[in-house]
Amino acid sequence: MSGVVTYSPAYTLVPTYECFNRCDYCNFRVDPGKAPWMTLSTAEKILKALQNQGVCEILILSGEVHPHSSRRQPWLQLIYDLCKLAIAQGFLPHTNAGPLSFAEMQQLKAVNVSMGLMLEQLTPTLLSTVHRHAPSKVPQLRLQQLVWAGELQIPFTTGLLLGIGETQDDWWETLEAIAQLHARYGHIQEVILQPYSPGNQQTWNAPGFKPQHLPEAIAKAREILPAEITIQIPPNLVLDPNWLLACIQAGARDLGGISPKDEVNPDYPHLSDADLLEMLKSAGWQLTPRLPVYPQYDKWLPEPLYTAVQSWRNRYRVVEKCHSHSQ
């Protein structure tokens, strides 16, 4: 075996698609007030149907309600309630809902095993191009999230969106910033390198990021980032198996949440974990499920979440033993 590649068996709940940002490349958002929010009863039905389906992570992925909107507090309450519901049904929640205040992050820490926010790119030039209608894409605002996550001891996932008008030097600058914050707080568990992939809803007319450039970016990221930070790539956005394997060879070791639908890139369905397993196995790699929190962060979790995570870890150990005995 060449080594182990991990993924998270996941399902995505979207509290709302509405978002006050309008990024030119977005294939997710709807205008505020144009779509109903998810109800707890709908979420409960979905979660009940997922029991015994092998799903571990519930990704709470939301469009953003403006910080000064009267709907901000009900929105945050809905996210909190969805996380609580997921825990009650035996799942492990991970929330990515855009920039949050310190108090909001503190509130959600109690019901999430990890959280995330893409930095995308730190270059301010994008504020006059693809992010010109996206107030929450101000780089300092997003960096602040990583600082607060560190102060609050929240296991955190962040990442870069590649191919939205930035330069290679911008990549290295963004990765250096992540490495420096991790050196201070030790809280970044994964960095996603996500190639921009055109979709049907966007207003931006630009070609997708070429996967041929990904292995080089991964290799350089592996040099910049500390060894304990895992590099993640979304396999549905690297359609050629040879390039996907080249990315893994270059240092990517995680494929992220594999779920029925990629809500951010709905035009790019995921392969099943069985198909990914087969493809990687033929190249000498082992595909293994993981939890949305890495073991070194278990001690940061509040007691009820810690207990839930240990229960999942024990379950995975039993599965691994069964596999090793059957081989």
> For 268-293, what is each residue's pLDDT tens digit?
988 888 889 899 999 999 999 999 99
In this predicted structure, the answer to whether residue 326 has a pLDDT above a threshold of 50 is: no
Instruction: Encode pLDDT of 224-244 as tens digits.
Output: 999 999 999 999 999 899 999
Domain with 115 in it: what CATH number? 3.20.20.70
The band of 321, judged by pLDDT with boundaries at 50, 70 and 90, is low
- Average pLDDT of the chain is 93
- Average the pLDDT over 86-93 and give the result: 98
DSSP letters along 195-257, please? E----SS-----PPPPGGGHHHHHHHHHHHS-TTSEEE--GGG--SHHHHHHHHHHT--EEEE
- Which one has a higher pLDDT value, 318 or 169? 169
How far, in Å, CA of 22 to CA of 18, rounded?
Answer: 10
In this predicted structure, the answer to whether residue 322 has a pLDDT above a threshold of 70 is: no
- Average the pLDDT over 63-77 and give the result: 97
In this predicted structure, the answer to whether residue 323 has a pLDDT above a threshold of 70 is: no
Instruction: Encode pLDDT of 147-202 as tens digits.
Output: 999 999 999 999 999 999 999 999 999 999 999 999 999 999 999 999 998 887 77
Provide the pLDDT for residue 239.
85
How far, in Å, CA of 89 to CA of 50, rounded?
Answer: 9
Provide the pLDDT for residue 320.
58
255 near 276, Cβ under 8 Å?
yes
How far, in Å, CA of 273 to CA of 239, rounded?
Answer: 15
Provide the pLDDT for residue 325.
47
Instruction: Encode pLDDT of 128-140 as tens digits.
Output: 999 999 999 999 9
Instruction: Encode pLDDT of 13-33 as tens digits.
Output: 999 999 999 999 888 999 998
Which has the minimum average pLDDT: 85-94, 99-108, 209-218? Answer: 209-218
- Name the nearest CA neighbour of 217 among 163, 139, 156, 157: 163
Provide the pLDDT for residue 327.
45
Number of domains in the chain: 1
Domain containing 68 equals: 3-326
